[in-house]
Structure 1
Amino acid sequence: MKTKILIADDETSITDLLSYAFQKEGYLVEVASDGEEAYQQMLQFQPDIAILDVMMPKMSGYEICQKMNTDKNIGIILLTAKNDITDKVVGIELGADDYITKPFDIREVLVRVKSILRRLPQQSLSTNETYRILDLTIDKLGRKVSIQGKHVNLTLKEFDLLTLLIEHSERVFTREELLDLVWGMDYIGGTRTVDIHIRRLRQKLGNPYDQLLQTLYGVGYKVTKLEIHNEA
């Protein structure tokens, strides 16, 4: 099955350029010219990757990102005309996996998309392991997290980050290592991205599981070992 890409921007020159480039690479592409259309395409087309302009009529890329935050199977890349770290941080906090500043080189967009896609099949098909920590269950194959049987909505990168730390409990990872292993060497975002995702994971896991994610100030992060059971 072909990988599906959604491109949403009110500038036809951008959607035409990206659509042509991705179709040439063999992807199945749909486009949207405003936020409402993009949101409907997210639900109906169910893309693997959505490239969303931040400033669109009817609904912004931020709003779509926030609405789709519970769908961890869709990678989201935001396009922004502002090279402002605040705008980028907001996007990441709302669940975006990456961001690209306009104007951009089409090769950069292709690389960013491929970077996210590389992790999807490897993460989902590599193992059928399930990790249990007290009432917390992490199903690696199904890419599901639950506490006392209640589903915990995590984004793509939140799940990947949590799984990596759980699999290597008690090992301390620097922010740079986590950025490399979860986002990839070609990701040019700063280490602040890691801090944001750790904070969001703590909020979503809640007490007492937020205490699993330990900060080693000036170094990085680790998961504290609390009766972690690995079930094949």
Structure 2
Amino acid sequence: MSGRRVLVVEDERTIAESVAARLRAEGFSVDIAGDGPGAVEAARVHQPDVVVLDVMLPGFDGLEVCRRIQADRPVPVLMLTARDDETDLLVGLAVGADDYLTKPFSLRELAARVHALLRRVDRAVSATQHTLRVGDLEINQAERRVRRSGVEAHLTPTEFDLLVHFAGRPRTVLPRERLVADVWGWADSAGARTVDSHVKALRRKLGADLIRTVHGVGYALEVGA
């Protein structure tokens, strides 16, 4: 991961410096921003490979920062929340966050999550560069663009990776635990809510009939062949 750039957005200077120090020790180049407008400008100037983003910020909050950053270019975002609030989590994922950590968190866990985000990006780049077609769904992996019935949808990096995973196994029921392991790279099932939220986002952007829920198990892509 050496040479990769991380933007840390956190208004509490002590936390920001601690996070930056740990990530630099892991080999990353790190930039820090302390408010909403500064974060958007730093993302534009530095073009980070991943953003660690606190929800509560002066100027405007992390949700708006995430929305503006993702509108400019898709970039993996790890969101930091002050409490385990499901509403904040769902809104954060809806505007383009890929993962989240609840404060207080360990620096070791944060570094592991950043590495996992970048591994997912690297896997996607190194994957076979071709277009997947499943029914009226067209996924251009080289350009990371998605169309359904000819209409393009803007997906976050993780939404795209999750959709590709489903499209490679149409109609196959995939347990949440397997999705957490294969797409997010997590070894446990703690990310079930994250999976649910990303599936909701895919349905919202590409159609409610896109993915079938198998209660108590997981999900299956249901686009006709």
TM-score (norm 2): 0.90
* Contact persistence 1:52–1:61 (CA under 8 A): yes
Give the aligned partner of residue 152 of structure 1: 153
Task: Assess, with a 3 A threshold, how the Cα gap between structure 1 residues 226 and 83 changes in structure 2: closer, same or farther.
Answer: closer
Give the aligned partner of residue 221 of structure 1: 219
Give the aligned partner of residue 210 of structure 2: 212
Q: Give distance in 1, aligned partners of 2:27 and 2:47.
A: 17
Structure 1 regions of 5+ residues with no counterpart? 228-232
- Encode CA deviations 1:8-32: one digit per residue, 9 max, x unaligned: 1111111211222222222121111
Task: Assess, with a 3 A threshold, how the Cα gap between structure 1 residues 187 and 61 changes in structure 2: closer, same or farther.
Answer: farther
CA-CA distance at 1:42 after TM superposition: 1.6
Letter matched to residue 40 of structure 1 = E
CA-CA distance at 1:67 after TM superposition: 2.5
* Contact persistence 1:165–1:223 (CA under 8 A): yes
Q: Give distance in 1, aligned partners of 2:161 and 2:186.
A: 15
Structure 2 regions of 5+ residues with no counterpart? none
Q: Give 1:175-190 correspondences, 5 Å limit.
A: 175-186=176-187, 189-190=190-191
CA-CA distance at 1:70 after TM superposition: 4.2
- Encode CA deviations 1:63-89: one digit per residue, 9 max, x unaligned: 112223446731111112223333323
Q: Give distance in 1, aligned partners of 2:87 and 2:150.
A: 36
Q: Give 1:29-44 correspondences, 5 Å limit.
A: 29-44=30-45
* Contact persistence 2:134–2:224 (CA under 8 A): yes
Q: Which moved further from structure 2: 149-158 or 64-73?
A: 64-73
3-state DSSP class of the match of 2:31? strand
Give the aligned partner of residue 109 of structure 1: 110
Letter matched to residue 160 of structure 2 = F
Identity level (%): 39
Task: Assess, with a 3 A threshold, how the Cα gap between structure 1 residues 122 and 42 changes in structure 2: closer, same or farther.
Answer: same
CA-CA distance at 1:154 after TM superposition: 0.2
Letter matched to residue 43 of structure 1 = R
TM-score (norm 1): 0.87
Q: Give distance in 2, aligned partners of 1:11 and 1:211.
A: 43
Q: Which moved further from structure 2: 110-119 or 43-52?
A: 43-52
How many equivalent residue pairs? Answer: 224
Q: Which moved further from structure 2: 186-195 or 119-128?
A: 186-195
3-state DSSP class of the match of 1:211? coil
Q: Give 1:20-169 correspondences, 5 Å limit.
A: 20-70=21-71, 73-147=74-148, 149-169=150-170
Task: Assess, with a 3 A threshold, how the Cα gap between structure 1 residues 79 and 186 changes in structure 2: closer, same or farther.
Answer: farther
CA-CA distance at 1:91 after TM superposition: 1.8
